[in-house]
Structure 1
């Protein structure tokens, strides 16, 4: 009975969450510039579009847990490794005129 409730209630929510994450990563890869992938020394934009596109299709039409987990790993790699590198190369992520000692709420002065 507990397993039936898990399969009918919680497991589909994980599937929807994986699908949403894959779609977000796909859109981020779609709007990134092609030259940023080369400058960040990551795979090409086409590579990531294919991998993330396959992940979205698998999450939508082939609810096989093994394939979904493989796609989730690829999505996490993109979001944790590739996306920050693209933002750094593209000039995003840091305010203009900021110092390397600036924290999230202003400059860090070492406790002085």
Structure 2
């Protein structure tokens, strides 16, 4: 009885984590510009929207462990590889209003 409750609780927590990460990745993929995907030499925006959308649907409706893990791998690939490349291409890594010579504590002027 206790073991069955623990397994159900653990699976529920994992499923919520899978759903949260895949929904977050889907939103981030939808917010990026189409030309940024081409400039970063990644698959197209529609490709990532379909993959991540299927991942969200699988996690919400099917709840099959193998498919959930495959979707989690696709989500991790998006977060680790695609998103940083998109941010670099679109200039998302810099702060707004700052210049390229700004350091973590303000502008860097080379000691002048």
TM-score (norm 1): 0.85
TM superposition shift of 1:93: 1.2
TM superposition shift of 1:2: 4.9
Query: Where does structure 2 lack aligned partners over 5 or more consecutive residues?
Result: none
Q: How many residues align?
A: 106
User: For 1:98, which of 83, 86, 100 is the aligned residue?
Assistant: 100
RMSD: 1.8
* Superposition map of 1:1-112 within 5 A: 1-95=1-95, 96-99=98-101, 102=103, 104-106=104-106
TM-score (norm 2): 0.85
The 2-side partners of 1:40 and 1:65 are apart by 32
TM superposition shift of 1:9: 1.4
TM superposition shift of 1:81: 0.9
Query: Where does structure 1 lack aligned partners over 5 or more consecutive residues?
Result: none
